[in-house]
Amino acid sequence: MTYYRPTKAEAEAAAKELQADPRVSTAMVQFEPYNGWMVVLVPARYDLSDLADRAEIQDGKRRPAPVAKVRPRPLADMPGQGGRGRPAGEGGQGGGVAPVRGATAKVWQIADGVGKADRNAIIQACVAAGINQSTAATQYSKWKKARGF
């Protein structure tokens, strides 16, 4: 059983008090980084069920229940961020709706015009229209995924 104290003197005083309990074999004081001084109790026997009252009541007050830690969802999984949490057809990355303006919108227009041709034909048509080859390749894959090819 472990109890934390802010100073070593307080921890030693608590250890002396807890040492008087017949259920405790040894009470030691140790320092734990980021938590403070702790009193470690070694029970007199292996059955720890009767020490539960000492663990729950500390300095005459009931200890609060531990707070459950909930891992935050990754940003990509949150709705509206382009991840799995976003419904299909809601726009943006992987959403299924074509971009509205710019070079990315041109790639989608060219791909819609050419239809279900091979990848190289669509990318070459985009490069001929003055679009960067990397932009064309990226937007082609997004277009293909959105159109279900």
Does 67 map to a domain? Answer: no
Q: Which residue did the predictor score with more confidence, 14 or 64?
A: 14
Average pLDDT score, the chain: 75
> Considering the domain boundaries, does residue 41 fall inside one?
yes
120 falls within a domain? yes
**Does residue 79 form part of some domain?**
no
Q: Does residue 73 lie in a domain region?
A: no
Helix (H, G, I), strand (E, B) or coil at 40: strand
Q: Where are the beta strands (DSSP E) in 51-117?
A: 57-58, 61-62
Q: Per-residue pLDDT for 86 more than 60?
A: no
Residue 43 lies inside a defined structural domain of this protein: yes
Domain extent for 11: 2-54
**pLDDT tens, position by position, 48-63:** 555 555 555 556 666 6
Please name which of 53, 68, 66 lies closest in space to residue 21, comparing C-alpha atoms. Answer: 53
Q: Is residue 68 part of a domain?
A: no
| Cα 8 versus chain centre, distance | 36
Residue 130 tokens, joined:
């003055």
Cα separation of the two ends of the chain: 61
Residue 81 falls inside a structural domain: no
Among 4-8, 64-68, 86-90, name the most confident range. 4-8
Number of domains in the chain: 2
pTM for the whole structure: 0.38
